[in-house]
A and B are shown apart, each in its own frame.
Chain A
Amino acid sequence: MRLNDAVFGLIFIALGLTMILIASGFPAFPGQPYGAALLPTLLGGGFIICGGLLCLRGWRVRAGGMAMADPALKEPGTLVSMALVVVLILAYILFSDPVGYVPFMAVALTLLLLRFGNRPLPALAVALLTTVVSQWFFGRILLVPLPRGILEGLF
């Protein structure tokens, strides 16, 4: 999705102003003219100046429209597939702890693979294999405490 540069310019200006505002509350370094607030303030200034230039640039090409979607994005199916990738990560953040790594990934990955147009049997096989291999490698060999969830105590 392409947005007009001016949109980004405005976002960066807002970001710069916020940074300067928050940074003004940082305590000064005793006996020094420069402290914790220096870099954030400079960066905030940089965001405002560059954001302004970007706005100027966007304004010049405003005839091109404020937003333009990639042709691939116009297909509704593609958009859903992309959103599903994000939803899968969000769901992991929210539910992996109660559900557990293995059951969560096995189900989520199967669904994603099916959605991407794989046939059911290969999708299930790849999902199970990936889940088991990643659990074995990260959970067993590298000792990462992957959440066990509902399988607590089983293995």
Chain B
Amino acid sequence: MTGLDPLPLSGRQPRAVRSALAVLEEVVAAGPGVTAKEISAALKLPQATTYRLLNLLVGEEYLVRLPDLRGFALGRRAARLALPVVTTPPTAARAVVEHLRGLVRWGVHLASFTTGQVALVDPDPDHPPAEPTLIARYPHASALGKLLLADQPDWRAVSRDLRRFTEHTVVDAVALDRQLTAVAATGLARQCGELRPDRGCLAVPVRGPGTGALVAGLALAGPPDRVAEPNEELVALLREHAERLSPLLA
């Protein structure tokens, strides 16, 4: 691997880097579906150069080729070039979460999934979660993360590093796959001491009305042995509040 070696820019390379960035900008400006010919014409770049740059950017997953193989769009990796925009939930939504906090003695957290990651947008001030960055990076070990993974067409593409945090962390891909199938079927995710031995969590999805798209997750955090119980009344309460959040967040 030469990743750490100093990489001198020489000859025509600075121009190539500038052109590659210009191609990225042009795809954003023109919108998904723009073709190689259109990009080449817009940037006044030679066609062969444009095609080579496009293939390079597709190879590195900054761009994707759309199914017709002609058009381009921004790839998932391009999301890393900008800070994810996490919007504060509207006051009405926060009021619903606050209402639930008044009914239970557990920590109540609201997370947004619109950035493709678990982003805690309304963590419980009285029971602050200790590891928001870990939850975002290792979704397999948290209940909110499991909701996100269960909604993916292929969770393996999103979560590659199944890190072990405690003896309860599910790190076997097959076992996790089975668990996520159950989460998708029941709409309830549960973890008992998988991220921290002394903390467990129950989470239910908040889906957009009509579309059914996953937009957020509502979670209850408490002692792992209590989380492991059926908790039917708590779950019903959680689902009821998730239902009320749906028109406010989608």
Question: Do the two chains bind?
Answer: no
Query: Which residues from chain A sit less than 8 Å from chain B, CB to CB?
Result: none
Query: Which residues from chain B sit less than 8 Å from chain A, CB to CB?
Result: none
